[in-house]
Each structure stands twice: as structure tokens, then as C-alpha cells.
Amino acid sequence: MTRTGAPADHVGCFHEAVCYGSDEELLATVLPFLVGGADAKEPTVVSLGPEKADLVRRALPRSAAVTFLRGDSVYARPAAVIRTYRELFEGYVADGAGQIRIVGEIPRPSLGATWNWWARYEAAINRAYDDYPLWSLCAYDTRVCPSWVLDDVASTHPRTLHADGRHEPSATYAAPASFLSAWPPLADDPLQSLSPLIALVDPTAAQARHTVRLVDSGLPADEVEDLVVAVSEVVTNALRHGRPPVRVRYWSGADRIVVAVTDGGPGPADPYAGLIPSRDSASGGLGLWITHQSCNYVAFSSSVEGFTLRLTAGNPY
């Protein structure tokens, strides 16, 4: 099967942003895209929050074969989204799909304190989904998106689709590896204004794991155990691939645990670390990927102190 529409001559992922300022503009942009996919018998998927999904569902012709996913469930953690979608796309391609169409929207809470790792997600999928004949529209509501989110959207999407059907290249698009290699200054979690509850220097992974369980947070046991796994992986990576000293600091609030792991090194050499699984044990890539599956927020930063990886269990907002 051949591809239809704007990506007809494109190989791999055709990644576009849809920046809309009204419900009418959203529908004017995505309905032709969805109906075109259904008419071409291409797998066509909507992954929006409940309100936007209902809006689109009501506007679609009843005959349009479109699959709806719960966007607020799908977009829980960036690495998990990549894993879920790659499995979905693999199935469609195995069934003979020549093109897959998807409209998705990152939930509004993720446009705030945790936007950094979603910006990284948007950059990474230019590579992570390039194995598939995918036409991907990422929707952003300009009524609620901060300007710095929209700046990152322009930097991570090669082009924008407009309501009048124009496909406009982004003048500020950055190569994914370049975007991901820039470790921006990381704003502290408010808990970090307090002295850490516990601070360790050059602990073993076992000591770091044990210390997580000493922090009384009131979080569900499964979330604490996920953090235990993540801390173990990160401390192991820091000891093997970073530079001493390795410092591990723990904070706890009413709804979350924050753990910061700092070593004197420059951080992972692979810009996609954590978002795309790696079997290269020499780089620690698989451990970082496991970490991204286990925490509700993972943030990187680099400074004169070295490289810091901050993990959050519980509510990261």
C-alpha cells in the first residue's frame, strides 16, 4: 500500500504540530485528516482527553472507521507512550498498513512543571517512530499553552498543519539529537528548598534502595517500590559511568518523594537515553529506560557540580 496525503513521498514519521486557538480551529484541522485516513482505509487513531475526544467523535461521520484511545491514560510517562505506540504501530504494519494516522494531545497538567520531559519526548519520537509509515499530528491548545511550551513545540516538530490545509515548515526546528543534548537549567522542586531528609555520599545501590524505604511518604507501596527500582538503576549508572563523588539526596512531602542523584560526570552520551530502550550495558541506557518507566517524573540537568538526575514518585505537579 502507498501513502496518501502530504506524506505521499515521505519515508518514516511525518511529524506535525497542530496549534489551535478554538475548538472550531481544532476540528477544521483534524477532521479532514481523520476522514482522509478512514476513506483510504488507513489505521486512524485519536488519542485526546475526554472532552476533546467527544468533540471530535461527534463531528466525525458515523461511517468513519477511527479508533479512539484515552489520551489522559496513554500520555502518562513519555517512555511508556513510546513503548505503547511502537507496539501499536508494529501491529498495524504487520497487518499490511501502508500508512498510519494519529492525532494526539499531551494532557494539560503536563504543560507545567513536568513539560521538560514531554519536550524531550516530542524530540525523541522523530527517531523513535521513524521506523513506521506514520503521519502524526500533535495538538496544542494555544489558549492554555505557555509561550515557552509553544517555542519547544516549534523546535521539536519539523512542520505545522494549519486549519486551511497548509503544511508549514518550522523555521526553528532543531535536529532531535541536538535538542536532547542540551541540558537546560533545572528548576528545583519546591521540596528542595528544605534540607534533604537524608543525604548519602558514594552509597552502594543496595544502600540507596534501602534508604528509599526509610522515607515516610504515605505513598502507595507500589509507587515506593517503583522508586526503589529507579534509584537502584540510577545509582548503579552513576557509580559505573559517572565520576565521584556520587551524592544521593532524599526529600519527602505530603504527596511525593523526590530523589536527586548527582555525580561529577557530564551525563549520558546518548541523547535518547531513557526514552528509547538500549541494550548497550556499557552506556547504562537500559537502566535509564527502566527508570523512565518507573517514575512519574524524571529530569536531567548539568552544572559545575556535575550531572544530576532527579526522580519523583507521587504527584510531580
- Residue pLDDT, tens place only, 262-298: 999 998 889 999 999 775 555 456 789 999 999 999 9
DSSP letters, 224-285, are: HHHHHHHHHHHHHHHHHHS-SPPEEEEEE-SSEEEEEEEESS---S-TTTTTS----TTTTH
pTM of the model: 0.93
Pick the CATH number of 183-314 from 3.40.50.10420, 3.30.565.10, 3.40.190.10, 1.10.10.10: 3.30.565.10
The whole-number pLDDT of residue 280 equals: 56
Helix (H) / strand (E) element for 80: namely helix 78-94
Angle at 137 between CA 132 and CA 138, to 5 degrees: 115
User: Which pLDDT band holds residue 51 (cuts at 50, 70, 90)?
Assistant: very high
User: Which pLDDT band holds residue 317 (cuts at 50, 70, 90)?
Assistant: confident
User: What's the CATH fold of domain 14-180?
Assistant: Rossmann fold (3.40.50)
Q: What is the pLDDT of residues 157-175, one digit of tens each?
A: 999 999 999 999 999 999 9
pLDDT at 217 over 90: no
The whole-number pLDDT of residue 279 equals: 57
The whole-number pLDDT of residue 104 equals: 97
Which residue has better confidence, 256 or 283? 256
Domain boundaries, given as residue ranges, for the chain = 14-180, 183-314
| b/e 109-138 (16+ beta carbons within 10 angstroms → b) | ebbeebbbbbbbbbbbbbbbbeebbbbbbb
pLDDT at 187 over 90: no
pLDDT at 305 over 60: yes
Closest among 192, 134, 173 to 308, alpha carbons compared: 192
User: Which pLDDT band holds residue 238 (cuts at 50, 70, 90)?
Assistant: very high
Report the C-alpha gap between 123 and 119 in whole angstroms.
6
